[in-house]
Copies of this chain bind each other. A is one copy, B any other.
């Protein structure tokens, strides 16, 4: 960085009164030009791909009767308090500048529950696509950011058991398939079954949540490490840990594992576990109706970190997103290095997840003096940044540059020369305006005198498939040339038409060119074609 002050360098560049004033104020300004840690700018093709993902998911959510809401990016601090367990330390706070204390939202679920409780809503299917904030250790290449999007669909209301739960799973499957992701597995489990297991294995009530969070590490750590955590750090007996170990190693198809668990009398005689097993039995019928039973595996090691889940929980991983087998091993070797480096051995994690949370709305309602409010909820959340990484990798595997960031279809140019040549700029503008008026994406070079080569280059960069060319002589006779663009049309001179027919001729050429231009290719990319 240069040690030169802004003031001195700006004085050289600017002569006007305004900036002379401004530069004085900035005199002390000396800094690196960057975005905050764990955040990034999105641009170009990436934005086109991401918007296509959002469109795909919001169409899906609408298809299931969802309405959308938009809550503030920050909430009163007390709204978020006590909802995220150990992760609460990752919440971003706003500075106390007088007035209320606020924090950036950590997810979209707590604001949703606050919204439902605040407005006395009895039932709603809502989707919400928005950014959330976590002061986590970023691992950008894996899609772990401090600012990232969530795409959530949640159902609130009293309904028959497992009906909205199974639809949430169907939405998960449809959502991924709609994005060309077919190679995935949804791990499911049930908080009440887990609670029952911990209970019958001898865990005290007050230790349940911390044992649950130890179990949750089984996807990244071997059993021995998790057992050690339970015994050494979390005060359980060897015997309790071993008995838990027998249970949480179980996984397989929903029907299979359910059959095994139903044989365990200690479990079926526990009130919570029995409720959970009944839920899973009902779920099986509905998953069958939705024809998604084969997408699901019952995995007793799935615990999910968040405090608020009370029933069915699920997490979706793809082969591409799973951490490598030896993640723990590799991590160990890296010790001494920064966390961020070590995390490169962790996969992108789950690409979608969710579960049932029956008490969150009540918690808000009760905290504000309302009684006996029971609005059970279930939801699913898509990790867009992670899904984006997968789709981006798919695009990188293609050789040709297939997606354009602009939607431009027509480029308006003028060719001429000689001493009296002014470049027909207002005339190009007039034609562009006619095209805009009928909804056609059109551009022209923002210069009066510009040679044909530069105009063709600009047209090429824009991705336009049709050119309107104002030739000096032709235009003097009230005519313009309309031609297709692209290498295969290099020898095609197009057609000369009277000025008043330019719009209709452009429309004709565009309908010939339909689907030719790169902007539409994102649809093909999303479908994995």
Q: How far is the CB of A156 from chain B (nearest CB, A)?
A: 11
Is A363's CB under 8 angstroms from B442's CB?
A: no
Contacts A36-B100, A159-B447, A447-B163 hold; do A92 and B93 have CB atoms under 8 A apart? Answer: no
Q: Which residues of B contact A206 (CB under 8 A)?
A: 21
Q: Which of A253-261, A364-372, A473-481, A483-491 lies at the interface?
A: A364-372
Q: How far is the CB of A169 from chain B (nearest CB, A)?
A: 12
Contacts A94-B94, A99-B37 hold; do A436 and B63 have CB atoms under 8 A apart? Answer: yes
Interface class of chain A by DSSP:
mixed
Q: Which residues of B contact A73 (CB under 8 A)?
A: 73, 131, 133, 147
Q: Which of B39, B199, B290, B441 contacts A17 (CB 8 A)?
A: B199
Q: How often does this chain occur in the complex, in copies? A: 2
Is A217 close to B, CB under 8 A? Answer: no
A437 to B290, CA, bound (A): 11
Is A115 close to B, CB under 8 A? Answer: yes
Q: Which residues of B contact A369 (CB under 8 A)?
A: 1-2, 4
Is A359 close to B, CB under 8 A? Answer: yes
Is A251 close to B, CB under 8 A? Answer: no
Is A44 close to B, CB under 8 A? Answer: yes
Is A92's CB under 8 angstroms from B100's CB?
A: no
A198 to B71, CA, bound (A): 45
Is A82 close to B, CB under 8 A? Answer: yes
Q: Which residues of B contact A19 (CB under 8 A)?
A: 310, 359
Is B290's CB under 8 angstroms from A433's CB?
A: yes
Q: Which of B95, B118, B307 contacts A33 (CB 8 A)?
A: B118
Q: How far is the CB of A429 from chain B (nearest CB, A)?
A: 4
A463 to B73, CA, bound (A): 30
Contacts A63-B440, A272-B16 hold; do A29 and B78 have CB atoms under 8 A apart? Answer: yes
Taken residue by residue from 50 to 82, chain A's Cβ proximity to chain B (1 for < 8 Å, 0 otherwise) reads as 110000000100111111111111111011011
User: A residues bordering B, Cβ < 8 Å?
Assistant: 1-2, 4, 6, 9-10, 13-14, 16-23, 25-26, 29-37, 39-44, 47, 50-51, 59, 62-76, 78-79, 81-82, 92-97, 99-100, 102, 104, 114-115, 117-119, 126, 131, 133, 135, 147, 155, 157, 159-160, 163-164, 166-167, 170, 174, 191-192, 195, 198-199, 205-206, 208-209, 272, 285-286, 288-291, 307-310, 359, 362-369, 371-372, 374, 405-408, 425-427, 429-430, 433, 436-437, 439-443, 446-448, 462
**21 residue pairs from A and B, CB less than 8 Å apart:** A6-B363, A13-B372, A16-B192, A17-B195, A17-B208, A18-B359, A20-B205, A21-B209, A29-B363, A34-B118, A41-B72, A42-B69, A47-B67, A74-B147, A95-B95, A155-B446, A159-B447, A160-B446, A163-B447, A289-B427, A290-B430
